[in-house]
């Protein structure tokens, strides 16, 4: 934990990507988080050949998932999902408690192509792309823990509007949120900024955040440009100081992200064992083999006819012995 003030403002902080930086505005007790995504986001969006607007919206969802997931205490997997009836059907991002991120999107290629004729850039209004739908939040801490799930209807022209609505409706928390995603010469970059109007009782004292202080912090936050949110040469600490230094700001230990997928051949084998052999044979190629691709990382798992027959025998033996 460190305090950013006049004595530390000229420290040559090392710019950092693929992290979330928590902070506290000291005068008011308003908490915040800044997400910076570089190579990790480029890896996630580059794994599938998505149309540019679809990739941009998925990138926003990944950044928002990092914001929300990093505010929760859990040991498992946090998932943020959008289901809709428009050109974009499904977008999913998840984050493990260790910081591994994934994401994928499914869409109607014909409808997306039609929209791209008039809206080929990054969508500023998601309504025409998503239509009606909802945003869902899930925390899964394993089979011995109860899953937590929240849901909110899609609201407003940006994905961040739905997340703000969730904070206000389900958590009774006022939140200010900015998010930006862009495809640069060096790849996809993303950034997101969150401030929350919640009491801080860590020391037994409760800060009563006035409407005036909250509006003031929102004004300071709104001065952040998309270029600043995405700039790789501007460290998270410097950006936070630039925005909120007049009220005093303290930063805490950042959390880093990676793009490790949780799929494995073993997990695919378990899925195949759970399916009827007749159903698997219907999906097989002419040579009797089957391939299954991970929706998140596009890894292709191929099983020959001989390997499948061995799996069928093993599954049958397990059922007989069970």
State whether 38 and 181 are in the same domain. yes
- Total domains in the chain come to 2
Residue 246 to residue 133: CA distance in whole angstroms: 41
Kindly tell me the burial class for residue 136, based on how many C-beta atoms sit within 10 Å of its own C-beta (0-12, 13-18, 19 or more): middle
State whether 185 and 279 are in the same domain. no
Q: What is the mean pLDDT of the chain?
A: 87
pLDDT value at residue 315? 72
Own/partner pairs for 118-123, CB < 8 Å, 24+ apart?
A: 119/53, 120/52, 120/53, 121/52, 121/53, 122/52, 122/53, 122/56, 122/181, 122/182, 123/53, 123/56, 123/57
pLDDT of residue 217 exceeding 50, the answer is yes
**Average pLDDT of the residues in 178-186:** 93
**Residue 19 domain-assigned (yes or no):** yes
Write the DSSP string, 142-190. Answer: -TTSPPEEEEEE--SSSHHHHHHHHHHHHS--EEEEEEEEEEETTEEEE
Binned at pLDDT 50, 70 and 90, residue 203 comes out as very low
State whether 127 and 270 are in the same domain. no
How many Cβ atoms are within 10 Å of 318's Cβ, its own excluded? Answer: 10
Closest CA to 263 of 290, 291, 289, 301: 301
**Pair 251, 238: CB distance under 8 Å:** no
pLDDT of residue 222 exceeding 80, the answer is yes
Give per-residue pLDDT as tens, 85-117: 999 999 999 999 999 999 999 999 999 999 988
pLDDT value at residue 320? 62
**Residue 144 domain-assigned (yes or no):** yes
pLDDT value at residue 3? 47
Write the DSSP string, 42-86. Answer: HHHHHTTT--HHHHHHHHHHHHHHHHHHTTS--SSEEEEEEEESS
Binned at pLDDT 50, 70 and 90, residue 11 comes out as very low
Q: Which of 239, 256, 273 is the last residue of a domain?
A: 256
State whether 282 and 195 are in the same domain. no
Q: The domain spanning residue 269 has which CATH number? A: 3.90.1280.10
Binned at pLDDT 50, 70 and 90, residue 259 comes out as very high
Give per-residue pLDDT as tens, 50-61: 999 999 999 999
Q: The domain spanning residue 214 has which CATH number? A: 3.55.30.10
**Residue 287 domain-assigned (yes or no):** yes
pLDDT of residue 80 exceeding 80, the answer is yes
Looking at residue 40, the DSSP 8-state letter turns out to be H
**Residue 227 domain-assigned (yes or no):** yes
**Residue 283 domain-assigned (yes or no):** yes
**Residue 176 domain-assigned (yes or no):** yes
**Average pLDDT of the residues in 9-20:** 65
State whether 33 and 86 are in the same domain. yes
State whether 247 and 269 are in the same domain. no
State whether 197 and 270 are in the same domain. no
**Residue 18 domain-assigned (yes or no):** yes
pLDDT value at residue 311? 85
State whether 209 and 242 are in the same domain. yes
**Average pLDDT of the residues in 139-157:** 84
State whether 245 and 275 are in the same domain. no
Cα dihedral 240→242→246→252 (10° resolution): 20
More confident residue, 305 or 144: 305
Residue 90 belongs to domain spanning = 14-256
pLDDT value at residue 199? 57
**Average pLDDT of the residues in 169-198:** 90
Binned at pLDDT 50, 70 and 90, residue 144 comes out as low
State whether 270 and 242 are in the same domain. no
Give per-residue pLDDT as tens, 266-300: 999 988 888 888 888 888 888 889 999 999 999 99
State whether 314 and 241 are in the same domain. no
pLDDT of residue 22 exceeding 90, the answer is yes
Closest CA to 65 of 48, 83, 78, 74: 78
Q: Which of 205, 225, 256 is the last residue of a domain?
A: 256
Closest CA to 36 of 217, 219, 238: 238
What proportion of the chain, given as a percentage, has pLDDT over 70? 89
**Residue 270 domain-assigned (yes or no):** yes
pLDDT value at residue 321? 63
Q: Which of 256, 291, 311 is the last residue of a domain?
A: 256
State whether 252 and 287 are in the same domain. no
């Amino acid at each position: 934990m460190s305090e950013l003030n006049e004595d530390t403002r000229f420290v040559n902080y090392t710019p950092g990507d693929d992290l979330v930086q928590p902070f506290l505005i000291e005068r008011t007790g308003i908490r915040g988080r800044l997400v910076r995504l570089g190579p990790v986001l480029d890896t996630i969006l580059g794994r599938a050949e998505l149309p540019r607007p679809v990739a941009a919206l998925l990138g926003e969802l990944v950044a928002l998932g990092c914001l929300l997931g990093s505010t929760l205490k859990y040991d498992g997997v946090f998932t943020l999902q959008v289901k809709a009836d428009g050109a974009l059907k499904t977008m999913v991002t998840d984050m493990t408690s260790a910081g591994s991120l994934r994401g994928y999107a499914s869409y109607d290629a014909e409808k997306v192509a039609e929209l791209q004729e008039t809206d080929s850039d990054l969508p500023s209004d998601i309504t025409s792309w998503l239509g009606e739908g909802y945003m869902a939040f899930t925390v899964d801490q394993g089979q011995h823990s109860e899953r937590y799930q929240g849901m909110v209807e899609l609201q407003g022209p940006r994905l961040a509007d739905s997340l703000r609505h969730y904070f206000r409706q389900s958590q009774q928390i006022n939140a200010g949120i900015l998010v930006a995603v862009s495809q640069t010469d060096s790849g996809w970059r993303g950034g997101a900024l969150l401030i929350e109007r919640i009491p801080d009782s860590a020391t037994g004292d409760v800060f009563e955040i006035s409407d005036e202080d909250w509006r003031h912090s929102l004004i300071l936050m709104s001065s952040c440009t998309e270029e600043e949110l995405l700039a790789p040469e501007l460290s998270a600490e410097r950006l936070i100081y630039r925005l909120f230094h007049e009220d005093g700001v303290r930063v805490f230990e950042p959390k880093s992200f990676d793009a490790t997928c949780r799929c494995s051949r073993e997990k695919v084998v378990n899925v195949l064992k759970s399916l009827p052999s007749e159903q698997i044979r219907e999906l097989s190629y002419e040579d009797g083999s089957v391939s299954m691709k991970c929706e998140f990382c596009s890894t292709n798992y191929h099983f020959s006819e001989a390997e499948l027959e061995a799996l069928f025998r093993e599954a049958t033996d397990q059922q007989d012995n069970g």
